Amino acid sequence: ADKYEPTVEGEKVEVGGTVDLTDNVTNLPTLPEGTTVTDVTPGGTIDTNTPGNYEGVIEVTYPDGTKDTV
């Protein structure tokens, strides 16, 4: 994981919408083939029924088994 630096962008969601943070790694095409992204935000952290700014957490797992959490 020390070799790679995932870059993420924010996400705008309509009230009552669905959050999908797994597509927020903007440089995924430049990371090693087989890299996966998983949303590990604790349940209830992002309430799409209440307007506001929320912070989610994603885990980026590289083919060598190392991980970054951003």
- Could you give the CA distance from residue 52 to residue 55 in angstroms, rounded to a whole number? 10
pLDDT band at 1 (very low <50, low <70, confident <90, very high): low
Q: Which of 17, 2, 9 is nearest to 68 (CA)?
A: 2
Confidence (pTM): 0.88
CA dihedral of residues 13, 45, 69, 33 (deg, nearest 10): -40
18-30, pLDDT tens digit by residue?
Answer: 999 999 999 999 9
Beta-bridge partner residues of 39: 58
* Interatomic CA distance for residues 10 and 67, integer angstroms: 20
Q: What is the mean pLDDT of residues 24-53?
A: 96
| Structural domain count of the chain | 1
The pLDDT, as a whole number, for residue 2 is: 77
Residue 44 domain boundaries? 1-70
**Residue type at position 13:** V
